Amino acid sequence: MIFYFSGTGNSKWAAKTIADKTGDTLFSLPTNESASGDTIGIVFPIYAWGCPGPVEDFLRAQSFSKDQYIYIVATCGSNCGMV
């Protein structure tokens, strides 16, 4: 399962590229879907040096298991963090 949030389409492209290689199903955030697979991908753009609100809301609503493998891909246009 790959959950993604995209503003301009870059993160959607990244999520789709990963899904094409792994055979995972894509879910656009926000969604009512639960992160229930063995492997969970989260893809989103950096917004104002952080995670977009819909992604934070989604993550807070989940009950991840210690047995799940969870990875995050954060895309960014120019500056990914405050220095």
CA distance 37 to 35: 6
Answer yes or no: are the C-beta atoms of 71 and 41 closer than 8 Å: yes
Q: What is the pLDDT of residue 83?
A: 57
Nearest to 80 by CA among 69, 72, 13, 12: 72
Task: Say what the pLDDT of residue 52 is.
Answer: 93
Q: What is the pLDDT of residues 19-60, one digit of tens each?
A: 999 999 999 999 999 999 999 999 999 888 889 999 999 999
- On whether the CB atoms of residues 29 and 59 are closer than 8 A, the answer is no
CB 54 within 8 A of CB 5: yes
DSSP letters, 54-66, are HHHHHHHH----T
Q: Give the ranges where the chain is alpha helix by DSSP (H).
A: 10-22, 53-61
